């Protein structure tokens, strides 16, 4: 099975594929290796109109995972305070690392 990761944001009730051609990471994710482990860096949906913005990771035609985030917003900052992965709380504010392990 070949993985072809695509990222989608749920914006105003519409699922939109993420692609920003002028960004360094146009699809808002990247893979990298650290300590001989491959990792995925992801910029989640931060839509300020949604209380809990949703990001979808489409690994292939049949496997899609959901990330939901909660944010604290001020005039000068946006801080992620909680992350759910497929409806399970995986990270809460001020934990040591906003990292989760996913095995596919």
DSSP, collapsed to helix, strand or coil, labels residue 15 as strand
Per-residue pLDDT reduced to its tens digit, 24-67 = 998 999 888 889 888 889 999 999 999 999 999 999 989 999 99
- Nearest-Å Rg of the Cα atoms of the chain is 14
Evaluate if residue 1 carries a pLDDT over 50.
no
Q: In the predicted model, is pLDDT for residue 6 greater than 60?
A: yes
User: CB of 74 within 8 A of CB of 59?
Assistant: no
Q: Residue 17: exposed, middle, or buried by beta-carbon count in 10 A (0-12, 13-18, 19+)?
A: exposed
Does 13 have pLDDT greater than 90?
yes
pLDDT at residue 7 in the model: 96
CA dist., res. 75 & res. 84, Å (int): 25
Query: pLDDT band for position 3 (50/70/90)?
Result: low
How does pLDDT run across 61-91, given as a tens digit for each residue? 899 999 999 999 999 998 899 999 999 999 9
Query: What is each CA distance from 102 to 1, 16, 39, 40, 65, in whole angstroms?
Result: 17, 23, 9, 10, 10
In the chain, domain spans: 6-92
């Amino acid at each position: 099975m070949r993985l072809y990761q695509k990222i989608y944001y749920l914006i105003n009730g519409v699922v939109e594929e993420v692609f920003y051609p002028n960004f360094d990471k146009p699809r808002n994710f990247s893979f990298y290796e650290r300590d001989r482990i491959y990792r995925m860096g992801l910029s989640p949906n931060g839509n300020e109109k949604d209380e809990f913005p949703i990001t979808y990771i489409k690994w292939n035609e049949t496997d899609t995972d959901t990330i939901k985030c909660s944010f604290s917003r001020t005039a000068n900052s946006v801080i992620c305070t909680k992350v759910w992965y497929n409806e399970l709380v995986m990270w809460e504010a001020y934990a040591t690392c906003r990292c989760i392990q996913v095995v596919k």
